[in-house]
Amino acid sequence: MGNFTAHGLLLAVEMLVALLLAMTLREYVRARAAAALGDPTPRLWGRLRLDPRTWFDPFGSGLVPGLLAVLWAVLVLVVPAAYGKPAPIDPSYLRRQPRDIVVVSFAGPIATLVLGVLAGIGVRIVPLGSDVGTALTVLAYTSVSLTLFHLLPIPGLDGARLVALLLGPQVRDTYRNLDRYLPLFVLLILFIGLPFLRVLVGAVCDAAADVDCQGLMSFG
């Protein structure tokens, strides 16, 4: 498992800050997209704000990032996976379905992907191996990880909302109702590790930053 080091503790803190930034942006953009498409629900619930307190979920935004931070502190760099309390959205207000549902579902992942790419471009600009470069690498890696995580076909995540559009009514309802088990699914992901997700996150981050993201973070 490794040992706690100053570098590992710094990485853990940077990962938590990156998750906070990426998840806040994700939920805000998702709520803004729904409002732009005619759904007043996010505005009525006060969710059109860049305020982490509006989406904080005790398990998905608190416990899970905390467990990940402990692992990162000992340089076990599992892919960051977390979720917030989603903005309430009423599909009945969306004028063009299923197109609008697809737009809302992709809004959050696109926002975090753009954040990751911008951070990766920043890595290319600053001196390689500098403190700022490492922080930007963590932000790029975390944002890309959050993007791909939320596109997994797990009930409660954006990927499942897209998959549900392809299912029949009865199967769709059953599938969507499994979102109550999202905490269990997330724990399984953390224990199993999903090696393919780690490979994908690394590949996208490497392409954006033009460095070996995982290697740079591991060795500082």
In tens, the pLDDT along 130-149 reads: 889 999 999 999 999 999 99
pLDDT at res. 172: 84
pLDDT of residue 219 exceeding 80, the answer is no
Q: What is the DSSP letter of 126?
A: S
Helix axes 99-125, 195-209, angle to 10 degrees: 60
Crossing angle of helices 182-192 and 64-73, in 10° steps, is: 10
pTM score = 0.92
Q: How high is the pLDDT of residue 2?
A: 57
Higher pLDDT, 22 or 188: 22
Rg (CA), the chain: 18
User: Minimum mean pLDDT among 96-105, 112-121, 182-191: which range?
Assistant: 182-191
